Amino acid sequence: MALWAACSLFLFNIAYAIKTATINHVDDFIGLIQTSMVTKSKTVYTVLSDVDIKTYDFHHGISIIFDKNRQALVAVAGIGKGLASITYDDFLSKDGWGNMWVDINHGSGASNSVGMYAAGLAEGLSSAKRISQFYSNVFQSASKDENTNAAIVNIKHSFERQLAHMMNNANLHAGTTSLEPADPYWRHIRYVLLQMQGILDGYNINAFVHGVRELNMVENRILILFIHLFGIF
C-alpha cells in the first residue's frame, strides 16, 4: 500500500507516495505507473515539485524532468527542459478562455509512454484550479437532482468496465514495464490513458497541497466527457 511522505513547506518538494523500486532509467517509471493504475491506489512512485504550487504563475511554464539522484520525476520552473513542458495562460476571468501549450521533448531518450505521462502531469499541475472548479460546478449541480445523480452512478460503472477493457488491450498491467501494443490503435489508446493518468496525478498533487478532494480515474474521464460535450477548456 502506498504511503504519503512529508512535504517541505519551503521548497514544496512534494513526495507524492513512496517509490517501491530503484529507478535506473526514466522508462522504469512506467511499470510503477501501471501498478498504480491497475490497483487504483495512490501513486507508487515519487513526484516532486521544485516550485511553490500554491503561488507559482504557470504562465512562466513548467517542465517535468527525471532526477536520477532523487529517484523522482520533478516539476521545475521554465519550459523546454526534461521530458515535457507546458505553458498555461489562464484568461478565464478576462475573456472566458485560456491557452495551453504542451510540448514533449522527443530528444529526452524516454519512451513515448513516459513522454505522454509527463505531459499529462504538467497539464494536471497547471490546470488543477480550473479542474477543481469545473468538478464542483458539475457534480454539485448534478447531485441535487435524483435522476441525474443516478445516471452519473451508472456512467461511473460503465466507465469502470470500459477502462478495464482499454487498459488490458493497451497492455497496461500491474508489475514490471510492459511493451507498447503492436496495434497502432491500442498503442495510441495507451498514450491517451497515460496522459489522463498524468493529468489525474498532477491534479491530485495540487489537491493535496490545497487540502481539497482528490479524484479517481473514472471521475477524471467523466469530467473530460463533460468538457468535450460543452466545449469547455
- Element counts in the chain: helices (H) and strands (E): 6, 5
> What are the pLDDT digits (tens) for 220-233?
666 665 554 444 44
Domain locations in the chain as residue ranges? 26-230
Nearest Cα to Cα of residue 136 among 212, 54, 210, 56: 212
Percent of the chain at pLDDT > 70 equals 69
Q: What is the pTM of this model?
A: 0.78
List, in order, residues 6 or more apart from 10 with CB less than 8 Å away.
none
Residue whose entry in the numeric block shows the C-alpha cell 488543477: 128
pLDDT by 10s per residue, the chain, length 233: 222 222 322 233 344 443 445 566 667 666 667 666 665 555 545 788 888 888 888 888 999 998 888 878 889 998 887 899 998 888 887 887 888 888 888 777 788 888 888 999 999 888 888 888 877 777 766 667 677 777 777 877 887 888 888 888 988 876 666 788 999 999 999 998 888 888 888 888 888 887 877 777 767 666 665 554 444 44
CA 137 – CA 131 distance, rounded (Å)? 10
> What are the pLDDT digits (tens) for 73-88?
889 998 887 899 998 8
Task: Give yes or no for a contact between 208 and 16, defined as CB atoms under 8 angstroms apart.
Answer: yes
According to CATH, what is the number of the domain 26-230?
1.10.439.20
Nearest Cα to Cα of residue 219 among 92, 131, 113, 146: 131
Helix spans in the chain (H): 29-39, 92-95, 112-143, 146-169, 184-210, 217-230
Extract the C-alpha cell encoding 112: 513515448
